[in-house]
Amino acid sequence: MKNKIQNIFRYLLSETTKKRSEKIILSIAIASFVIHLLLILLVQLKLIHLESSLFESPIAAIYTPFSFILLYEVYLGHLLFTKIHNYLYWQTI
């Protein structure tokens, strides 16, 4: 059981996973920005009706990708913390 957990952590914290997740998050951020802009356009053209201030101004769409980027930064922070922890742990053995 312990080996399985270690393998999962090794996989999730590997450089390959980091690069793959970076591409995925960037794609999601760009797509969400474009989708948000399209929804704003549809609301302004009165093709759809959404009761939210998030769809009134294109400036609101700027915040959308940063939500996903913030999630990625949390992942990077955890990755950095884990690497520092492992480094310090192996220094004491």
* pLDDT tens per residue across span 52-61: 887 888 888 8
The string of pLDDT tens digits covering residues 63-89 is: 888 888 888 888 888 888 887 877 777
Q: How many folded domains does the chain comprise? A: 1
The angle, 0 to 180 degrees and rounded to 10, between the axes of the packed helices 15-44 and 63-92 is: 160
Question: How is residue 53 written in tokens?
Answer: 């201030």
Is the Cβ–Cβ distance between 42 and 58 less than 8 Å?
no
pLDDT value at residue 38: 94
Range of the domain at 83: 2-92
pTM above 0.95, yes or no: no
